[in-house]
Amino acid sequence: MYKVRLDKYLTEMGLGSRSEVKQGIRKGFVRVNGETVVRPEHKVSVKDKVFWKGTSVDFVEYEYIMLNKPAGVISATEDSREKTVVDLIPDSRRKDLFPVGRLDRDTEGLLLLTNDGKLAHRLLSPRHHVAKVYYAVVSGVMTEADIRSFAEGLYVDEELTALPAELDILSVHPAAGKSEAEGSGNPEGTSEIRLKIYEGKFHQVKRMVHAVGKEVIYLKRLSMGSLRLDEALRPGEYRRLSTSELEELYAE
């Protein structure tokens, strides 16, 4: 049975920094299998019964959390000035969570947070072409010509020719008449679209829409592979993945 140092075990379970945990161990805060342990280097395994200040500490190797990312939060693990997606998970058991891929600061929707590097690589690797579906509101009227351009593989700029993508135009709201449009700030109208892409380049959805002469004004990710955003989650809310959701992701 694989064993780790007691201070490492407790630190990974979020009981404090390594130095704080060591200090607590030496003060007698920890009992292992009914006995007080004061040596940080004491080795434990997942089968040992570990208590910190009388509270059981069960080892969790991996966490998988679905977050409905709100706008205004950055997809990072830490930042000295801005709130990060990790800051939104106060009860995480692991302190090494990271977002799988990133959503722009102003983009909402599905974001997976985990400490499972193997799964993250599987979902992000260009070789696997894991589908990502977005809902967007676009300034401008999307057309059948845009659908064909996206399906053929769109030349975006000198850095990106996007893989073929599936564009669905959900609705189009043409510009209102002159009297109604005064002060609207949107003389070209708007469109609502759903877009499925198979890669994850920097600002890809916004760049693709810009390449056909429109601009994204609202963007939300709905799914990533088999994982779909739980509609019960409001922006900023999260939950842990179910066993079936995790199995489906690993089958991608």
Tell me the residue ranges of DSSP E strands in 131-214: 132-139, 155-157, 160-161, 166-173, 190-197
Looking at the DSSP assignment, which residues form a beta bridge with residue 218?
Answer: 137
Selecting among 48, 87, 96, 104, the annotated active-site residue is 104
The number of residues in the chain equals 252
Alpha helices (H) along the chain:
6-12, 18-26, 117-124, 144-152, 178-181, 204-211, 243-250
Q: Is 10 exposed, middle or buried (0-12, 13-18, 19+ CB in 10 A)?
A: buried
Q: Which residues contact 29 (CB under 8 A, 6 or more apart)?
A: 52, 53
Q: Is 58 a catalytic residue?
A: no
Count of Cβ atoms closer than 10 Å to residue 74 Cβ: 20
Which residue in 109, 9, 113, 105 sits closest to 57, CA to CA?
9
Cα distance between residue 10 and residue 24, in whole Å: 10
Q: Which residue has the tokens 């009860």?
A: 91
Q: Which residues are catalytic?
A: 104
